[in-house]
Structure 1
Amino acid sequence: MSFDTLRLTPTPLLVGPCVKSPPTFAGTGTLSKPRRFPIEQMDGFRDQEAAVFQDLLFVLVGLEGFYIRYAESFNIDSSVTQRLIGPDFSINKHLAPSLKDISKRISQLGKRYVSLTTFLEQYDNLQYGTVVQALCFEIRQNLKTYESILVQIEHEFHTNANYSVTLLEQDLTAKPVVQLSLLYDIVLQIVQENENRKDSTNMDRMRFESMLKSLKDDHYTGTLDGVTSDPRNSKVVKGGLVLSFIQSAIDQHKGNTTAYQFLVNLFNKVSQNYVVMLNSWLEKGSIEDPHEEFLIHQTTEGSRVSEDYWADKFTIRSEGLLKQFYPPNVQKKVILTGKYLNVLKECGIDVDDLAGIVHIKTLQDNDMYIRLDEAYNRANKLIIDLLFKGFHIREFLEGLNKYFLLTNNHNFNEFMSSSLAELRKSRDHASLNTLTKLYLGSYHEDDSIDSDPRSKSKRLIFNLASHSLSKYTLLDELVMILSAKTTNSDKVFASSDLSSLKNLLNSTLEANENQVKANVLTNTKIDQYSVFNFSLDVEVPFPLNLIITKSQMIEYQFMFRNLTYLKFVEKSLELSWREITHQRFWCWPFEDPGLRRWIKQARIVHSNMRTLVNLCLFYLNFDVIDANWKKVEQLLDSLKTDPTVELESVFGSIKSFLSTILADSMLTKIRLTQIVNQLFAIIVLYHNFLMALRKTLILMDEQLFTENQAKLSLGTTFSPEKNGSRMRRLHEGLRNYKEKYNSKLSDLMDALKYYGEIDSPSLLRLYEELALSFNMEVY
């Protein structure tokens, strides 16, 4: 069969194999160039039209003709990529201008036809995912319609003497032919993007850019209340990225009703499997995504009861993110819905047996967000019931407040009374076993067995509690955290590649290491007390650890260590108060009126210090902890009556509670934290000073000395002539402590007012209470 007698038929037997390996006369092929009648020697326009008409029929299925050939730049055998892009055609230069213009326009269809058929050859494979397979099916259906139109055109050519090239072009403006051009544009994007990804340098650049975008866009804030982006790029274009190309085409053709409707229908058909995966995720928390095309990426590494596992288990695939999922709140609802359901399944609940949801039909439907809200609300209600009715998380929180924030702290007062001496030892000499036994003994009776499940939840903390003597003091840890430098975000986002980003991060880490070495403040005897290192910890069990995370437990620990130190100071002052007000040595009617006045002044200073400590404790217990916990309780109480309360709100409330009490407890500002620590160090040193004066007081009075001589070391004698120097040392010591205390108290007042006005208004309440108690001027 010669080429000039080739007929187009509805069967693919001729068209298909010819296009797959079309004959070509270009280059050094086996086919010799056919001899042709020079078109410039033809007598008239009609002769040229007749000559070129048959060529156009060949061109429409991607073949060369006599007067229309492949461009020299196109070699159909050398590269699949060239066939995927499609051939350009070279038109005889002697052809009439009007025929040449029409031929140029019609030859574009041949280019698209070759591209689309080659695309089917190369991409109709599951390695490119189900979305591409659905696109291939739609392309194949469109090509069948296009080929049927060509058969009709060929029939007109052979049977209708009046059928012209102009009529041919008009017939080719039919809807299926226009759709062919739209499909070609989408295919070309896919092909070009895949070519771009074959270059490892391009892939490295894409990964780096995706990582930076992920850093900018991440909405992650916790284990069960945030969204983490997955910045990885697939080696080939598939899934959501293909759908995003179609979406872009939809946006570009909004002014063309025909093209717009075709693309919308194409999107809905191609995204059917994507929607099935979305519904499965929203209803069952399941991801059936063997080709990694879906919106959610799932990892399986790590322990299932670890909060870190759940924080990173499900991430939003940032590559190919569809515009329906651009809003952060939509991403959050999508990912949390499935994550909640997965937690339920991990706790042994068969979510497949639970009432279902109304499925999303297409991503273009107006009710998609309504269906998403319904699925989210269902999952939210299920997880709240699990945590608050099944695991009694409210009672667990109350238990944390009891043990870490020392609410109802009579047990801790008992522990502090019994462990005061041990807590005064250095970290290296203190016995952790002794402290643990004393602590457990203080709480043992209070945590006796009770059949009430809510009491068991509180007692769980007692059973899980562990104690330690940390390497650094509380102040050292706070200073290291608060003074740590963060990497400038502008510099991060301005990084040109991964190497420059690593260098930037390493320089920040090195600076922080040096900062840590410079800021470790442990250098006095007081700082060596183990009370600064004594810490309580609880390993929160699954699934409670999804709400009460490690970061929140660290905040609880900071509060516990801070309150422990305050209680230590309070107990120390109680001990020294009993000493200076009830001990015989201090109540003795000394003959020296100067000594009696000194004792009175010492008691006044001590009383002022006790007042300060008591005001601070009252402020922390009632103005900070209790006042902020009531806000959390209001939200927890609403769970009983309001089914729309979100677990995210509960998590946020707990997080806000802890961050607020940390700030209001003077633990988040380095200057304020250091002033408070120095002030209480002066108070402890003053306590030590007073507790060490028994021998001095005995030696100040002869009769008192006589009564207690047996208690003194051998050889100690009464020496009245030394009383003058002893009295001077007493005055000097008291004046020194008083001046330091007043100076540091003044610094505290200034800091409270400053930070209260710019950051934590509740600090102003403490400022006013202190000013009122010490008759200080409020300004």
Structure 2
Amino acid sequence: MDPYTPRARPPRKNNLTLSAKEYTKITGTIASVRRNRQLSDDIDEEIDSRVHNSRETRVKSNESSFIAETSFVRAPLNSRVGATISTPKSKGKAREDVLDHLPIDIQEAIILEDLLYVLMGIEGTHVTCHPDYSPEDDDPLLGIRFVVSSPLDPPLRDLTERVLPLGTYYTAISAFVESRSHLDFGLVNHALCAAIRDMLKEYQTLLSQLEHAFNTSPQFTLQKLWFYIHPTVHTLSLIYQLVLELANTDDDEASSLSSSSVDEEQNARDEALGLGGAKLKAVLSEITKSSAGAAVPVKGGEVLTIIYERMQSMSGDPTACKVFGTLLSAAGIPYAQMLREWITTGRLHDPYEEFCVKESKFISKGILEVDYTDEYWERRYTLRDGSTSSSKRQHTGVPPPRTPGGRLPGGACIPPSLEGWKYKVLLAGKYLNVIRECGIELQASQRQVNEQQLSMDDQKLYKFVEDAYTHANHTLLQLLLRDQQLIPRLRSLKRYFFLSQSSFLTHLLDLAHAELKKPAKLASIVKLQSLLDLALTSEDALFREDVKVSIASTGLYEWLLKVISVSGVIGGDDGEGALDGAGQEDAKKDRDKDRDEKKPMLAIEALALDYTVKFPLSLVISRKTILRYQLIFRFLLHLKNVEQSLASMWIEQKTAAWRKPVPNHPDFEQWRLRVLLLRARMLAFVQQILAFVTFEVLEPNWRSLEAKLAKVTTVDQLLRDHVDFLDTCLKECMLTSAKLLRAYSRMIVTCSTFALYSSSFTKSASQALAAAESGDGDQAMGKRWDFLKKFESNFNHWYFHLDCVQYYASSENVSLLPLVVRLSSIKSMS
């Protein structure tokens, strides 16, 4: 409805057809109005004279003048504001006596005029501000409390006190709109204030109509005023309650970030990403200083959450549902626009940090000391609430929750309508960013351009998010599988790291035999890389230029035990220990014993392969997954090396010193048989472990992965299936159980050490054979038995590994049952 502009009153007619009572009431009302305008009459006369002069000037110059419209100058609202500002108020008993000696009709007319002041937040003559109110000290967001300061007839006072809360609501809401329209409060608050401002315009239109009725209608009474504004009281009370909650939630103490939390955030970032350098630390220190102690105002998703919760809690009130629904729809438009741009183009335009997704601009590939591209994309865009779909770990930098209720502040508070879709919202934008990083520019489809404006309370929002997520997923999946040749890459990884259908390792071990026997610190990586390239060239292998040689700094089993004792799993994200007290104590003893008996690690024990993968394949074949491949490769390489050593020992033991019969020396014959039997048992043990890992674990799991990749439909599923495949292989290879790994590693070390003494055993056999042939007697036979029994006792002691395997196969890992059968045949050889 258009605002009403009063016009000049028509000349009064002489033939009035009113009763005496009505005439008295009208004249009393007019007298009351004129009495309050005494001071403004002089101003009006001056304006009239100016208007008269301007009219004469206009006649002379034949030009129109806006100020000639006297009806505008003499508008009731203008005169009232002027009278309110200029007229001195009577105080004390003098003012009270005015109403005491007036009839009820006159009191009603005077109070009606004051109420029209109060409804606009202006103090009247007899309805004034509360005595305790102070404009300088009181919070304007609480509104101005009005009271009736003069005695009134009880019915009039009752109706007046019903109307007075509207003045408080209006002043509080107006103050909220004015204060929350600043830039610091974000786009959602701006949209909310605009919607409230539109509602206040309707309220002001109502006031102008009431004012017109007051000045023109003799039947306009206080009861009619209450009848007209009664629905508005409930509407403004709902908005007032919302304003109070938004104002009271904005608490500096609950929403400020302490400097200690910022320091912890910085340390976590540095530790996780391996960041360093004085320049970077200086940049992060500036970020810390600027954000320490900064308050997080109520904005963004938190505003939408508060409105949504109020609408849900008052769902039985149709007026409340309509008011809050209108405000939620209007306030959510900027949020929905940010959401649309993020999930359709991958661009994050969030100048006031209101959206649920945040961009950590301090993380860039330029500051990474190592190109961990998967880490870059994992931490570049995250949810503000710290949650992640890939692990239980939460990201740092999450603001502390509000003290009352525990709700996260600002943009970290995700609207309830998006809570179940937040991961899809995050991943849709991240996948589009991956595509953009590959040089493929994205544009919203024509259907999305023509889509109607989204609203946070619209059911179409969920379908839009689902469609955008599906489109981003499908586009990136096709890019990985078709353009980037992901499946051939994974097959090459299997070939190189799992030693399947490839003889390059045997060729490499033959070529680099001398170099691999050196200590790890003295081995030449350049020479080993050249020999690896030569071994791969002979096979014409795919992607052989991406395979590199690396030397590990620690032994395989030592490193595995350390990782398991800290995190419980390989590549785990949690920092909680998985071992009990006894297990940790045993691990500590083993580490102390290894430290005491530590010898320089040979290059063959530290040899590992690395694989270079470029973006975007690095998202699937990440550094974490390559680490898992490396662990399996080193495990298989160690088994192959021990098997070759024991096989070489078997070839050496085919000489005359081991085969020539010595009938007159039965003790020597028994010693030779025991050495041969121990070597056979060790070789059978290593071969059974190697066969089990190759044919019972790696090959079946790889076939299962290939079947899943043929049916994969989302990038999430692709990443999950790949990681699950590697974790399953590690678990079934017994590399994730501390007890199994400790027993198994001891047995393998015993076998490799036994193979190292192959020449010593041959030398002892030759000496014993020469002594037997000379007939002088063998004085060193006792030492030979002692030396052999140490290996036998050590091997038999750690052979309770079979019992551990049986226990885990029956309780935790059924896939170990074939290994139990294989190891049982070795036990019968003893």
Q: What is the TM-score with the length of structure 2 in the denominator? A: 0.75
Which of residues 261, 281, 292 is equivalent to 2:322?
Answer: 261
Taking a change above 3 Å as real, the CA distance of residues 290 and 71 of structure 1, as seen in their structure-2 partners, is same
Inter-partner Cα distance in structure 2 for 1:24 and 1:617: 101
Query: Which moved further from structure 2: 661-670 or 181-190?
Result: 181-190
Distance verdict in 2 for CA 1:130–1:432, change over 3 Å: closer
The residue correspondences of 1:254-653 to structure 2 (distance < 5 A) are 254-300=315-361, 301-303=363-365, 306-318=373-385, 319-327=412-420, 330-352=421-443, 357=448, 359=451, 361-420=454-513, 422-447=515-540, 455=542, 459=543, 462-484=544-566, 519=591, 521-524=594-597, 528-581=601-654, 583-591=655-663, 592-639=665-712, 645-653=713-721
Give the residue type in structure 1 aligned to 2:206: I
CA deviation after TM superposition for structure 1 residue 751, in Å: 1.3
Question: Which has the larger displacement, 378-387 or 246-255?
Answer: 246-255
Structure 1: give runs of 5+ residues left out of the alignment.
216-229, 449-454, 487-491, 493-500, 506-511, 640-644, 706-718
Deviation at 1:652, TM superposition (A): 0.5
Q: How much does 1:480 deviate?
A: 1.7
**C-alpha distance in 1, partners of 2:497/2:429?**
33
Q: CA deviation at 1:101?
A: 3.6
1:297 aligns to what SS in structure 2?
strand
Which residue in 2 is equivalent to 1:73? 132
- Counterpart contact for 2:508–2:532, Cα < 8 Å: yes
Deviation of 1:51 after TM superposition, in Å, equals 3.7
- In the other structure, the counterpart of 1:740 is 794
Where structure 2 has 5 or more consecutive residues not aligned to the other structure, the ranges are: 1-32, 42-70, 269-290, 386-411, 569-573, 578-583
SS at match of 1:90: strand
1:85 pairs with 142, 148, 152, which one? 142
C-alpha separation between the residues in 2 aligned to 1:485 and 1:419?
A: 36
Amino acid at match of 1:467: V
Query: Matched residue pairs, number?
Result: 693
Distance in 2 (alpha carbons) for counterparts of 1:341 and 1:599: 69
Q: Distance in 2 between matches of 1:40 and 1:303?
A: 79
RMSD of aligned residue pairs (Cα, Å): 3.9
Secondary structure of 1:406's counterpart equals coil
Counterpart CA distance in 1 for 2:72 and 2:294 is: 42
Matches within 5 A, 1:12-51: 33=91, 35-38=94-97, 41-42=100-101, 45-51=104-110
The CA distance in 1 between the partners of 2:201 and 2:141, in whole Å, is: 19
| Greater shift in the superposed pair: 678-687 or 260-269 | 260-269
Q: Is the 8 A contact 1:10 1:147 kept in 2?
A: no
| Offset of residue 473 of structure 1 | 1.2
Is the CA contact 1:424–1:530 (under 8 Å) kept in the aligned structure 2?
yes
Q: CA deviation at 1:380?
A: 0.8
Q: 1:593 to 1:431 in 2, by over 3 A?
A: farther
- Closer, same or farther in 2 for the Cα pair 1:675/1:539, shift >3 Å? same
Separation in 1, partners of 2:536, 2:440: 35
Letter in 2 for 1:675: A
Identify which range, 97-106 or 336-345, moves more after superposition: 97-106
2:228 maps to 171
Superposed displacement of residue 311, structure 1? 0.8
Indicate conservation of the 8 Å contact 2:96/2:150, yes or no: no
Q: Give the Å deviation of 1:722.
A: 5.0
CA shift in 2, pair 1:680/1:56, >3 Å: same
- Alpha-carbon contact 1:620-1:665 (below 8 Å) kept: yes
Mapped pair 1:686 → 2:686: no
Q: Give the SS at the match of 1:364.
A: coil
Instruction: Write out per-residue CA displacement over residues 55-99 of structure 1, whole angstroms, 9 at most, x where no aligned residue.
Output: 2221111121223221233222x15x7222211123337444443
Distance in 1 (alpha carbons) for counterparts of 2:78 and 2:514? 94
Equivalent residue, structure 1, for 2:115: 56
Would the alpha carbon gap of residues 232 and 624 (structure 1) be closer, same or farther in structure 2, given more than 3 Å must change? Answer: farther
1: CA distance, partners of 2:642 / 2:255 = 63
Deviation at 1:255, TM superposition (A): 0.6
Q: Deviations over 1:243-263 (max 9, x none)?
A: 222212211221111321232
How far apart, in 2, do the equivalents of 1:656 and 1:436 lie? Answer: 31
The 2-side partners of 1:533 and 1:656 are apart by 26
Question: CA separation of 1:703/1:148 partners in 2, compared to 1, >3 Å: closer, same or farther?
Answer: closer
Match of 1:759? 812
What is the identity, as a one-letter code, of the residue corresponding to 2:124?
G
Which has the higher mean CA deviation after the structures are superposed, 652-661 or 11-20?
11-20
What corresponds to 2:784 in structure 1? 730
Give the secondary-structure state (helix, strand or coil) at the position aligned to 1:267: helix
Residue 196 of structure 2: aligned partner: 139
Structure showing greater radius of gyration is 2
User: What's the CA shift for 1:759?
Assistant: 2.7
Structure 1 residues 93 and 557 mapped into 2: Cα distance closer, same or farther (>3 Å)? Answer: farther
- Cα distance change on mapping 1:102 and 1:438 into 2, 3 Å: same
Q: Cα gap change, 1:14/1:120 in structure 2, threshold over 3 Å: closer, same or farther?
A: farther
Show CA shifts across 1:633-658 (max 9, x none).
0111224xxxxx11111111111111
One-letter code of the match for 1:596?
E
Pick from 646, 660, 669 the counterpart of residue 737 of structure 2: 669
Residue 564 of structure 1: how far off its partner (Å) = 1.5
Deviation at 1:744, TM superposition (A): 1.2
Shift in alpha-carbon separation, 1:245–1:412, aligned structure 2, 3 A: same
CA distance in 2, matches of 1:126, 1:702: 99
Tell me the amino acid that sits aligned with residue 4 of structure 1: N
The answer to whether the 8 Å contact 2:550/2:608 transfers is: yes
1:4 to 33, 36, 41: 36
| Aligned residues with identical type, % of pairs | 25
Give the match's secondary structure for 1:38.
helix
Q: How does 1:223-234 map to 2 (within 5 A)?
A: none
Aligned to 1:226: none
Q: Contact 1:362–1:368 at 8 Å: present in 2 too?
A: yes
Q: Helix, strand or coil for the counterpart of 2:566?
A: coil
The answer as to whether partners of 1:476 and 1:522 remain within 8 angstroms in 2 is no
Paired residues of 2:520 and 2:601 also in contact (CA < 8 A): yes
Asked if 2 retains the 8 angstrom alpha-carbon contact of 1:299 and 1:312, the reply is: yes
Give, in angstroms, the shift of residue 352 of structure 1. Answer: 1.4
CA distance in 1, matches of 2:532, 2:150: 100
Query: Paired residue for 2:311, among 245, 250, 253?
Result: 250
| Displacement after TM superposition at 1:415 (Å) | 2.1
- Distance change in 2, residues 1:23/1:85 (3 Å): farther
Contact 1:135 1:270 in 2 (8 A): yes
Structure 1 residues 15 and 263: alpha-carbon distance in aligned structure 2, compared to 1, 3 A threshold = farther
The one of 755, 763, 767 equivalent to 1:695 is: 763
Tell whether the 8 Å contact from 2:126 to 2:150 is kept in structure 1 after alignment.
no
Judging changes above 3 Å, is the alpha-carbon distance between structure 1 residues 541 and 720 closer, same or farther for their aligned structure 2 residues? Answer: farther
Structure-2 change in CA distance of 1:703 and 1:560 (3 Å) = same
- CA-to-aligned-CA distance 1:18-41 (integer Å, 9 cap, x gap): 99998599xxxx977485133773
State the alpha-carbon separation in 2 of the partners of residues 615 and 106 from structure 1: 92
1:143-185 CA-partner distances (Å, limit 9, x unpaired): 22111211222233333344332221121123x5543333322
Q: What are the residue-to-residue correspondences of 1:760-779 with 2, within 5 Å?
A: 760-775=813-828
Given that residues 643 and 683 in structure 2 are in contact (C-alpha distance below 8 angstroms), is that contact kept between their aligned partners in structure 1? yes
Contact kept in structure 1, 2:639 and 2:690, CA below 8 Å: yes
Partners of 1:148 and 1:249 lie apart in 2 by: 27
Residue identity in the other structure for 1:73: D
